[in-house]
């Protein structure tokens, strides 16, 4: 059953799968971020970096799975599509 988790994107060795959500990007609000590291832990692409104070998404590495948004206890990450926050 499809649930949009994005696991197939990172596991396909032939890079043969593209997400229809590719125009949706995670936007991290650093004013809300508590640098807990939860998003960093769930990101399988290692596309989130963090320091003692905040975190940051590397959009070049991100495959838009949305797991970081779900993991953030501070609701600091929101998907953005064509300028509209979900």
Kindly tell me which of 42 and 80 has the beta carbon lying closer to ligand SF4: 42
Give the Cα separation of 68 and 25 in Å (integer): 11
For the CB of residue 46, give the shortest distance to ligand SF4 in the complex, in Å. Answer: 8
Among residues 19, 71, 78, 80, the one that binds ligand SF4 under rule CB under 6 A: 71
Tell me the sheet residues that pair with 80.
25, 85
CB-based burial of residue 46 (10 Å sphere; 0-12 exposed, 13-18 middle, 19+ buried)? Answer: exposed
On the 0-12 / 13-18 / 19+ scale of CB atoms within 10 A, 30 is: exposed
Question: 19-58: which residues touch ligand SF4 (CB under 6 A)?
Answer: 26, 28, 33-39, 42-43, 45, 47-48, 50, 55, 57
Closest contact distance (angstroms) between CB of 25 and ligand SF4 is: 8
Binding site residues, ligand SF4, CB under 6 A:
26, 28, 33-39, 42-43, 45, 47-48, 50, 55, 57, 62-68, 71-72, 74, 76-77
């Amino acid at each position: 059953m499809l649930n949009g988790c994005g696991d197939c994107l990172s596991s396909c060795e032939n890079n043969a799968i593209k997400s229809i959500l590719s125009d949706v990007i995670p936007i991290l609000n650093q004013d809300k971020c508590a640098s807990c590291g939860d998003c960093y832990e769930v990101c399988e692409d290692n596309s989130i970096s963090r320091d003692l104070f905040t975190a940051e998404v590397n959009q070049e590495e991100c495959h838009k799975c949305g797991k970081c948004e779900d993991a953030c206890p501070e609701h600091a990450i929101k998907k953005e599509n064509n300028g509209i926050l979900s």
